[in-house]
Amino acid sequence: MADNTFDTLMDKIGRREAVCGVVGLGYVGLPLAVEMGKAGLRVIGFEKSSRVTNLVNAGESHIKDVASSDVAALRRGKKLEATLDMNRLAECDVVSICVPTPLGKTKDPDMSYVVASAEAVAAALRPGQLIVLESTTYPGTTRDLLLPAFEQKGFVVGQDFFLCFSPERVDPGNPSWHTANTPKVLGGITPRCTDLGVKVYELFIDRVVPVSSPEAAELTKLLENTFRMINIGLVNEMAQVCDRLGVDVWEVIEAAATKPFGFMKFTPGPGLGGHCIPLDPHYLAWKMRTLAYKTRMIELAGDINSEMPEFWVNKLQDALNEVGKPVRGARVLVLGVAYKKDIDDMRESPALEILDLLRGKGADVAYHDPHCPEILDDGHTPAGALGRSVELTDERLRNADAVLVVTDHTAIDWGRVARLAPLIIDTRNAIARARARLGIAAA
């Protein structure tokens, strides 16, 4: 019976006859579902949003990194569909869970989406299914949270059903690295779980990297983003050091980057944003607090990075004071609200806090972002940091008392901004780069 269950599923995967379910069709789930479909697998996407299911079923993508033409082609080929009906999880041989894992206000993990997904999968669980959790989380989640929910049905992991963790590595807007060509780390509860996980993901991922356990896979993702968070915290602190010393931090970074060994270039900015770096290290910190261990570097880097919106707002206020203008009533134009260039993702964007801080100081604030036409209240947006993008006209640039560069989108003509704006505070070095490129003397 056990061998038959494993062999049958392995054979279905090998013949590309396994039905795949993807729970959550967001920035992670939809690209994954599309790659599965392109590999010839039939995919059912599970969503709580009727807007998303309607778009996918109409052959349209709501994710910038996924072309609507790809979704439409898979719909025509009957390889992809979306549904609100979680009972249909019973139809799936492979289930990938790709739901959000936000942090609460106290930086404790909010596992409600994962728990709800696990309960839905458990309700539909049958022998011969492989479940893979992709949502970033703390070490032990797969074994301690998902496994008991599935074993309550009387099934044995590695025999009747199979369970793995494989962290998503999505980088929105990256033109070079995407779902198919980014190596995929995967660890199963048992060796058979890992074997099945590798077998199915190898159908649409160029390289799958098996590890010994779900905990190793969970910790791999946390290490990756903790590394980035701490190094960003270092250069953000260096930006504050250079500000006090009257030295150009960008010049220092570029000079240091000429060293061919022992240095990796990171750049400062307005603070951390996105779905990973601001959140993932705190999952590890939370887990270690439960084991009476303090992750000091994570907490210190988190403190430094969280200070950056206020640092830049204070820089703007000081610059206004130097020209005899109070921040209260000043016309401030913020350029960019996405968390990084050339995308429309505002999750955890420091721009939202910056807008809120400026409005709290009484500034007359407007923003321009070619990728984010409006800021919607998603329940996480700071109070007051809502609005619509304004047109970036010559008149608006000239009439602004100060321009604050938060996101250096390629679509913005930074040379024009440099020529027309009377006062610029630049968190991304976009203006200096534009001036160097165009031969414009620094103001």
Question: Which residue numbers are catalytic?
Answer: 276
How large is the greatest C-alpha to C-alpha distance in the chain, in angstroms? 81
Tokens of 240: 């504050």
Report yes or no: 219 and 140 within 8 Å, Cβ to Cβ.
Answer: no
CA distance 407 to 329: 24
Residues 172-188: b if buried by 16+ CB within 10 A, e if exposed: beeeeebbbebebbbbb
Other CB atoms within 10 A of residue 74 CB: 21
Place of tokens 């991304």: 428
399, 391, 397: which is closest to 415 by C-alpha? 397
